[in-house]
Amino acid sequence: MPELVFFSGTMDCGKSTLALQIEHNRSSRGLQGLIFARDDRAGEGKLSSRLGLVTDAVEAEPDMDLYAYVVRRLSQGGRVDYLIVDEAQFLAPEQIDQLARVVDDLDLDVFAFGITTDFRTKLFPGSQRLIELADRIETLQVEAMCWCGARATHNARTVDGQMVVEGEQVVVGDVNSPAEVGYEVLCRRHHRRRMTSAAAHSGALSPDVLPVAD
């Protein structure tokens, strides 16, 4: 039976790499997939991993009807055996509904990949809808690590080197912004303490200074 499968995890846990691996495995068996992506690091219309792998994709624009796009492709004689959707957390809830309809009405597997929560530890709307609708949810087993060595469970945003917990949920690179925005994965303990790797390093004792006992 076709399924809507949600592969979730933090940043750096290999979601896009797995998406590319699934595409490779299926295409090498003669199947033809349709890949959607949103705001990929490699640019519009791309699916890429941090390992340097990249392939072409259809940019899932905010107002795009994904179900209608697939139907149009099929009606024009194109072949679609499955869908891969990367950065699915950025999709609107109604677009997730459209993916579920692809599974139910067109009998196609849909593999969606995304981050579950944002830098504020709040669910992305797209991820929330996937949790509500997915036939299966898979947590990726490649564990990202906090700077302390513990399993990373939270995504942190930094602005000019300082961790922030307020602001827009989605921030795409803005060349007009004077602030430098970055991201880092942390364990819950250090996310709660707002202690990034840079903050931990700056707060560490010099090796030449011993702690003073009371």
Return the active site residues. 87
- Reading the block at residue 9, the tokens are 């995890």
Q: How many CA atoms lie within 13 A of 4 on its CB side?
A: 21
Q: How many CA atoms lie within 13 A of 112 on its CB side?
A: 35
CA 121, CA 134: separation in Å to the nearest integer? 21
User: Is the distance from CB of 127 to CB of 120 less than 8 angstroms?
Assistant: no
Residues near 128 by beta carbon (within 8 Å), at least 6 away in sequence: 93
94: three-class secondary structure by DSSP: helix
Q: 10 Å Cβ neighbour count for 116? A: 22
Q: Is 12 buried (19+), middle (13-18) or exposed (0-12) by CB count in 10 A?
A: middle
CA 121, CA 119: separation in Å to the nearest integer? 5
CA 159, CA 38: separation in Å to the nearest integer? 23
